[in-house]
Structure 1
Amino acid sequence: MGIDRSEYRQRRERFMEKIGSGTAIFRSAPTAVMHNDVEYIYRQDSDFFYLTGFNEPDAVAVIAPHHPEHRFILFVQPKDPALETWTGYRYGIEGAKAIFGADEAYSIAELDEKLPQYLEKADRIYYHLGRDRAFNEKILSHWQRLIATYPKRGMGPVAIEDTNLILHPMRQIKSPAELEMLRKATAISAAAHNRAREFAKIGHYEYQIQAEIEHTFRLEGGIGPAYPSIVASGANACILHYIENNRQLQDNDLLLIDAGCSYGYYNGDITRTFPVNGKFTSEQRTLYEIVLEAQLKAIEAVQPGKPYNDFHDTAVRVLVEGLMDLGLLVGDVEEIIKEEKYKPFYMHRTGHWLGLDVHDVGLYKCGEETWQILQPGHVLTVEPGLYIAPDIKPAEGQPEVPEKWRGIGIRIEDDVLVTADGREVLTAAVPKAIDEIEK
């Protein structure tokens, strides 16, 4: 869906250049049980998918650039017509080679027998020790056997290195094909948000809004939600990851919707906050204007060559100054920021990487003090907010929050591509200016 097989091959070639005489091993994601013997819809491990495009469980990919014949090997479930009647078609061993470009393929049952031939002449093993402890032990066991015979053979893997350190910087820079996938995911996400704003009205329940959003995701060809949809009315908007979505919308409520579509495993991530009855109250408008200004200025700070943290710092300063103007924070701006006395109102970062994972992979900092430098092809979210919970407890030395502000939660989030000369807001199709969202 959108990514040509040749691109997967190119990704593997680039990865092979980086591991030299090593051998890399990738494990597919496990199937997850929803309850008893009912499984969730399968979702492949993102690293595995990025290099192979293969979307079946119980598989292992081996990349061995030093091998004279087999540089890309897949271990997969073989064809089994009886089982496929129940669980769906498999590509099998021949499909792994003919469709996915494996130089060789085997049944997953042959892994222990066949894997050593791809490890014994490697100078190191590249493998990420993940959540699958049994498979971790399998790889460590193979390595220990090879280390034990190293003195006699004078060759073999002398270390295990984490694949993340090599692969994740590759994943951070999105290719043109990946950007098209992200544009599709964000376009569907935008359509769902616009539908939700049209549908929402007093008396509806949050879950009804959620249903309209997720109906749009599937109707437009998406896999479904990229993450559990947040549809938070009233004070629920002060809970960052609220997913119960069971409250009835009331007059004078704000409705915060944080929802994104997954399309071909690439993800949108949008948040909008708007008044259910079509008009902001005075307090809601005042806080919304602060968050919107913070978001717009933060987006302006997203530029190639600038440190990742700049747009967060920009947003924090606007939020702090806005809260000080309202008397909700007092003191020196620099001291408030340094001591994070704004945290009761704004407790999260202003964004994250976006791609195959919603919170996509890649470094944010290079060492203790140096932030990652933004580059063309980076995609990230920009999502400042203000959350004044009914029971908010101000930081030490800060004033109590008057009742009129309590119970208001606002977040505005867009997905932004870093370009050669600035940025492109991929989610601009969802209105956020007050005169656009007031009915």
Structure 2
Amino acid sequence: MKHAPYSDRRRRVCERLGDGVAIIPTAPERLRNRDAHYPYRFDSYFWYLSGFPEPEAVLVLIGGSEARSILFCREKSEEREIWDGFRYGPTSAAQAFGFSEAWPISELASRLPQLLAKRNTLWHSLGHDAEWDRRLGEALAALRADNRNGQQAPGEIRDLHGLLDEMRLCKDSHELDCMQRAADIAAAGHARAMRACRPGMAEYELEAELSYEFRRRGASGHAYTPIVAGGVNACILHYVANDKLLSGHALVLIDAGCEIEGYASDITRTFPVAGRFSAEQRAVYEIVLAAQAAAIAAIRPGARFADYHHAAVRVLCQGLIDLGLLTGTVDAAIESEAYKPYYMHRTGHWLGLDVHDAGAYRTGSGDDDWVILTPGMTLTVEPGLYLRPSDKVPEHLHGIGVRIEDDVLVTSAGSLVYTHAPRTVGEIEEVMHHE
């Protein structure tokens, strides 16, 4: 059954709610301008527990001995379906997605106080959505005002996102299948961009190649705004203008991933616009590639989240010394953070329904209080070097920006890189010169 993974997650949440109730709204539709909307994208927490794709929907989970899941959604409407497309409606939604029951969204306000009544705990993430903070506050106030008639409001509010973040850190088989499909499509998009690249093209032309391949293979689109950065633009970490022409003497950095059933891939590749690395470009690229290999080797069950970043930094510092950009020892460069003008971000992040996915990275404030890696966690590994033109950087290295990023699953045996876009110098040059 298609809804089985979502039903199982709801069951697991209900087991942890105690005698409580959880409220999970999906994201609202948002106007782009006038009466034109942005493409709709559901709330990740709501999707994780429901798999229900429509806006104007709220999931209510009730724990305890009478555990059940209740969906509030739009009613069937022949008129609106003519304009906007298919709607499930409550009856069909309950059957198709395995909810205990479903009601029209128009009845939520009147039913909400009773759903909250006589429950010890309300599970809700205060501060995530001001409108829902207000709506739930009003429902609680109504219950308290009716106290003389025996109504009782929940006496405790607990953070629902904290509970769900913990669950979302380790992916189930359905999630891993979606993420592998997203990774395969994104890898094909990067390879297409390499084959299409020519000096004089605009960055947005390569972006178009990616977009075409993503949609052609069934992805819903980009998982985030893509970065296509030629030359010195690659030294801008969040460059998204993608509107400059590509010089045949430069590298181009592409950071792009796609989305399948809500799940993201996240790949970065850097390659020479003309298809061959210069000696200087290759030297920097090989340092970053070695740093990525060291980071991946450090990923295993029982390791701390920060361990693979430290492994990458050590290799990058040695590389910067070899290039003449740093002096002294690797340990001194790490301790003084002398590498940070050339490498200023961390080596990765969680990956899943959100590109920077839910889940804590630390369990405390100490240097050793990092989350311990366990099988089922998915993360990115993305070291880089960014040599912005300055008097501290030799002219032959000016404007070289390199980042290499892959998606990695923590397994019981260690780790698995499941993104397969061309990565080594040889692989990239072979793809770019293949007719």
Q: What is the TM-score with the length of structure 2 in the denominator?
A: 0.95
Could you say which residue in structure 2 is the equivalent of 1:9?
7
- Name the SS of the counterpart of 2:276 in structure 1: coil
Q: How does 1:192-207 map to 2 (within 5 A)?
A: 192-207=189-204
**Structure 1 residues 150 and 422 mapped into 2: Cα distance closer, same or farther (>3 Å)?**
farther
Instruction: Give the corresponding residue for 2:297.
Output: 300
Matched, 1:433 2:431: no
Cα distance in 1 for partners of 2:107, 2:100 equals 16
Aligned ranges 1:34-433 → 2 under 5 Å: 34-66=32-64, 68=66, 71-147=68-144, 153=150, 155-369=152-366, 370-391=369-390, 400-427=392-419, 429-433=420-424
Q: Which moved more, 1:337-346 or 1:213-222?
A: 337-346
Residue deviations 1:384-433, cap 9 Å, x none? 000111258xxxxxxx2222222110000000001100111101x21211
Distance 1:113 1:66 in 2: 23
Q: Distance in 2 between matches of 1:269 and 1:189?
A: 8
Distance 1:130 1:53, change over 3 A: farther
Range with bigger deviation, 46-55 or 102-111: 102-111
Q: Which amino acid aligns with 1:220?
A: R
- Partner secondary structure for residue 271 of structure 1: strand
Pick the aligned partner of 1:18 from 7, 16, 22.
Answer: 16
Q: CA deviation at 1:228?
A: 1.0
CA deviations on 1:157-212 (whole Å, 9 max, x unpaired) are 11111111111111111111111111100000011111111110112111111111
**Counterpart amino acid of 1:28?**
T
Q: Hey, what's the Cα distance between the residues in 2 that align with 1:150 and 1:430? A: 62
CA displacement at 1:332 relative to structure 2: 4.2
Residue in 2 that maps onto 1:395: none
- Kindly indicate whether the alpha-carbon contact (under 8 Å) linking 1:74 and 1:106 is maintained by their aligned counterparts in 2: yes
| Cα distance in 2 for residues equivalent to 1:148 and 1:66 | 25
Q: Which residue matches 1:397?
A: none
Q: Percent sequence identity over matched residues?
A: 48
Question: How far, CA to CA, are the matches of 1:245 and 1:151 in structure 2?
Answer: 63
1:203-239: CA deviation from partner (whole Å, max 9, x where unpaired): 2111111111110000001101111111111111111
Partners of 1:225 and 1:154 lie apart in 2 by 48
Q: How far apart, in 2, do the equivalents of 1:140 and 1:315 lie?
A: 47
Question: In the TM superposition, what is the alpha-carbon distance from 1:352 to its structure 2 partner?
Answer: 0.6
Amino acid at match of 1:98: Q
Shift of 1:102: 2.1
Q: Distance in 2 between matches of 1:338 and 1:123?
A: 50
Amino acid at match of 1:123: N
Letter in 1 for 2:426: D
Q: Return the letter of the residue paired with 2:230.
A: S
Residue 292 of structure 1: how far off its partner (Å) = 0.6
Q: CA deviation at 1:340?
A: 2.1
Task: State the distance in 2 between where 1:386 and 1:151 align.
Answer: 67
Give me the whole-angstrom Cα distance separating, in 2, the residues matched to 1:148 and 1:388: 64
> What residue identity is the alignment partner of 2:223?
A
Q: Residue 153 of structure 1: CA displacement?
A: 4.3
Moved more, 279-288 or 361-370: 279-288
Q: Secondary structure at the match of 2:97?
A: coil
Q: Name the SS of the counterpart of 2:154 in structure 1.
A: coil
Kindly provide the amino acid, as one letter, of the partner of residue 425 in structure 2.
Answer: I
CA shift for structure 1 position 132: 3.3
Gaps of 5+ in 2: none
Q: In the alignment, which residue of structure 2 is the partner of 1:33?
A: 31
- Match of 1:99, SS? helix
Partners of 1:334 and 1:36 lie apart in 2 by 57
CA distance in 2, matches of 1:82, 1:122: 39
Q: Name structure 1 gaps, 5 residues minimum.
A: 393-399
Distance 1:365 1:7 in 2: 28
- Structure-2 separation of matches of 1:314 and 1:415: 17
Secondary structure, counterpart of 2:207 in structure 1: helix
Residue 333 of structure 1 and its aligned partner are, at CA, apart by 2.9
Secondary structure of 2:178's counterpart equals: helix
Amino acid at match of 2:62: A
Return the offset for 1:151: 8.5
Q: Deviations over 1:315-367 (max 9, x none)?
A: 01111111112221123433432332211111111001111111110111101
* Contact 2:380 2:408 survives alignment (8 Å): yes
Q: CA deviation at 1:150?
A: 5.9
User: Partner residue of 1:396?
Assistant: none
Q: Normalization by structure 1: what TM-score?
A: 0.94
CA contact (8 A) 1:256 1:271 kept: yes
Q: 1:55 to 1:154 in 2, by over 3 A?
A: closer
| Contact 2:203/2:242, CA 8 A, preserved across alignment | yes
Secondary structure of 2:76's counterpart equals coil
